[in-house]
Amino acid sequence: MCGIFGITGAEGVALKIFFGLYDLQHRGEQSAGIAVSDGKRVKFHKGEGLVTDVLGREEILVQLTGRYGIGHNRYSTIGDDITPEDRIFNVQPPEGDFKGQKFFLAHNGNLINIQGFKRYAAEKGYAFKTSSDTEVITALLSVSDRADFLEALMDILPKLQGSFALTILLKDKVIGVRDSRGIRPLCLGRHESGFILASESCAFHTIGASFIRDILPGEIVVLDETGISRQFIWAENPKLNLCVFELVYFARPDSMIDGISPYVHRLKAGELCAKENPTKADLATSIPESGEIYSFGFARASGIPLEKAIFRNRYFLGDILSHSDKSRKFVRTFLMERGTDRRKIQRHKFYCLRKVVHEKSVAVIDDSLIRGNVSPEIISMLRKQGAREVHERICSPPVRHPCFLGIDMPSRAKLIASSLSVGEIRRHIEADSLGYLELESLIEASGLAKENLCLGCFTGEYPVAPPLE
């Protein structure tokens, strides 16, 4: 679910990339990177941490001079189970060499069945530096026999399996690519002196750019000094299968993704969840921030008064409480590394108001229930503050299947709904009742047809065949 960014324009695009990545911070908090070209030479800077930690110093940005550039925020699903010393090599964008010409590439998504590609590239002389699936693309481009970079790219793309949205920097152009299923989002915008590619349209706001359109599934867009020099469909039989979790959780509410507003989706899902799972609670409240918009719709449809009963500490110590040996200030709990004690995190991240919940029946609204290690802590907090009853309402269906297309849900064993019934989950989280949104209602709230969504984590049916490994 990484955030990617690309831009062309007048001299000084590094600052715009910084702000673009800042507005895409919610998509990845593990690392950030930027590469900029003046048309002749490429300079780059990357490191572990938030955008402000890695790039937020004037002495860094002033050295990154150029008119073309890309950026990346990392949220890893492959290649993070490595030593801290080696982990820095997985920070994007990686560098490649095509016929003596350096290029950089930023990737959002997950490639599968890559071992054959790695063996092929290694046999052709490429030396892998990372454990990331992204470097497979860099490697295949670096060892391509094609004379033209775009021809090499078009030769490679149909062979890739999985999900990908890409921004690629050459010395005098930026290329945007979306996979043939449109699983990961990518859109096109314009600013005063050039064009922009970004994972979400929210990245345009701070730099004063305007949204033009979504990049289509299976499309390539080439930006250079003339503007949009080429735009065409590279894939045969492209079809939109947008990851529904973009709407459920990941995307920022003010973005537009394939014509859909995540805000509207969440509001509608909350309304439908209330109708499907009625309760006589005294008040409704949300898990900040993930359940907030859903709670608006839930309260509207149910008639239950909406209260702010659960607050998030704005000075949350995610960097200290993560198991990482590095100081990394995670903000979104879901983005934290594997192995993090999420129940412990909740005790430091959230607090409840006794004045609001004491002797009350409380309906708690959230977007999803994945591992089942957050809800028990929240419910325990409410009971300790005197809540008489706690009813949990989840505004998406049970997540029963792993994701191999860009969300860190690597195995069924980690998903509580894969082995427990709704009643058993209710007992595990110690709620008085538990209600999920029905799948058909989730689809209705999205505004897209079922065949235009990836619903694999809910149904086990994927738009791309599961990995062989």
Least reliable range by pLDDT among 74-83, 176-185, 431-440: 74-83
In angstroms, the CA 43 to CA 434 distance is 52
In this prediction, residues 422-449 reach a mean pLDDT of 97
Instruction: Collect all residues with Cβ–Cβ distance below 8 Å to 237 and sequence separation of at least 6.
Output: 180
Residue 152 has pLDDT above 60, yes or no: yes
Q: Is residue 333 over pLDDT 80?
A: no
As given in the structure block, the two tokens for residue 93 are 């964008």
Mean pLDDT on 393-408: 93
Q: Helix 375-384 to helix 342-349 angle, to the nearest 10 degrees?
A: 40
Q: Do residues 223 and 8 touch, judged by C-beta distance below 8 A?
A: yes
Query: What gap in Å lies between CA 221 and CA 216, rounded to an integer?
Result: 10
Residue 151 falls in which region: left (phi positive, over 0), alpha (psi -120 to 50) or beta:
alpha
In sequence order, what are the residues at sequence separation of 6 or more whose Cβ sits closer than 8 angstroms to the Cβ of residue 350? 287, 288, 310, 311, 312, 313, 377, 378, 381
429, 392 in Cβ contact below 8 A? yes
**Summary mean pLDDT of the chain:** 90
* Residue 8, beta-bridge partner list: 68
pLDDT for position 324: 46
**pLDDT of the residue at 75:** 79
Domains of the chain: 3-240 (3.60.20.10), 262-450 (3.40.50.2020)
Confidence at 263, pLDDT banded by 50, 70, 90: very high
pLDDT (tens digit, 9 = 90+) per residue, 57-91? 989 999 999 999 999 998 765 444 445 555 666 78
Give the count of beta carbons closer than 10 Å to the beta carbon of residue 430.
13
Mean pLDDT of 281-301: 96
Q: How many Å apart are CA 40 and CA 65, to the nearest integer? A: 11
Tell me, yes or no, if 243 is annotated catalytic. no
Q: Say how many C-beta atoms besides its own lie within 10 A of residue 53's C-beta.
A: 16
- Cβ-based burial of 195 (10 A; exposed 0-12, middle 13-18, buried ≥19): buried
| Torsion angle in degrees (nearest 10) through CA of 389, 395, 401, 407 | -110
What is the per-residue pLDDT across 8-62, written as a single tens digit (0 to 9) for each?
Answer: 999 889 999 999 999 999 999 889 999 999 999 999 999 999 999 999 998 999 9
Q: Where are the beta strands (DSSP E) in 279-431?
A: 283-286, 310-312, 350-352, 361-366, 389-394
Predicted confidence at residue 334, as pLDDT, reads 47
Give the residue-averaged pLDDT of 355-372.
96
The two structure tokens encoding residue 392: 């949990």
Within the chain, how many helices (H) and strands (E) appear? Answer: 17, 21
Q: What is the mean pLDDT of residues 169-173?
A: 95
What are the structure tokens assigned to 184, written together? 């990961």
* pLDDT at residue 328, rounded to an integer: 46
Residue 337 has pLDDT above 90, yes or no: no
Q: Which of 80-89, 313-322, 456-465 has the highest mean pLDDT?
A: 456-465
Q: Specify the residue for token string 């007048």.
A: 10
**pLDDT (0 to 100) of residue 414:** 85
| CA–CA separation, 218 and 153 (whole Å) | 13
Does residue 326 carry a pLDDT above 50?
Answer: no
| Beta strand ranges found along 225-307 (DSSP E) | 227-233, 242-243, 283-286
pLDDT band, very low/low/confident/very high, at 331 (cuts 50, 70, 90): low
Of 68-72, 118-122, 411-415, 435-439, the least confident: 411-415
* Stretch 151-157: mean pLDDT: 97
Beta strands in 353-444 (DSSP E): 361-366, 389-394, 433-436
**54 neighbors 31 (Cβ within 8 angstroms):** yes
Share of the chain above pLDDT 70, in %: 89
Q: For residue 30, what are the CA distances in angstroms to 36, 71, 151, 293?
A: 21, 14, 33, 26
pLDDT band at 195 (very low <50, low <70, confident <90, very high): very high
Coil, helix or strand at residue 243: strand
Helix-strand-coil split of the chain, %, nearest 5: 35, 25, 40
Q: Which residue has the tokens 């490649």?
A: 96
Q: Give the start-end residues of each E strand in 239-379.
A: 242-243, 283-286, 310-312, 350-352, 361-366
Q: CA gyration radius for the chain?
A: 22
Nearest to 27 by CA among 50, 48, 7, 45: 50
44 within 8 A of 33, measured Cβ to Cβ: yes
When pLDDT is averaged across residues 164-193 and rounded to a whole number, the result is: 97
Cβ pair 70, 5 in contact under 8 A: yes
84: tokens are 């801290």
Would you say residue 320 has pLDDT above 50?
A: no
pLDDT, tens digit (0-9, with 9 covering 90-100), for 221-234: 999 999 999 999 99
Task: Tell me which DSSP letter residue 239 carries.
Answer: -
Residue 274 predicted with pLDDT over 50: yes
Would the pLDDT of 96 be above 80?
A: yes
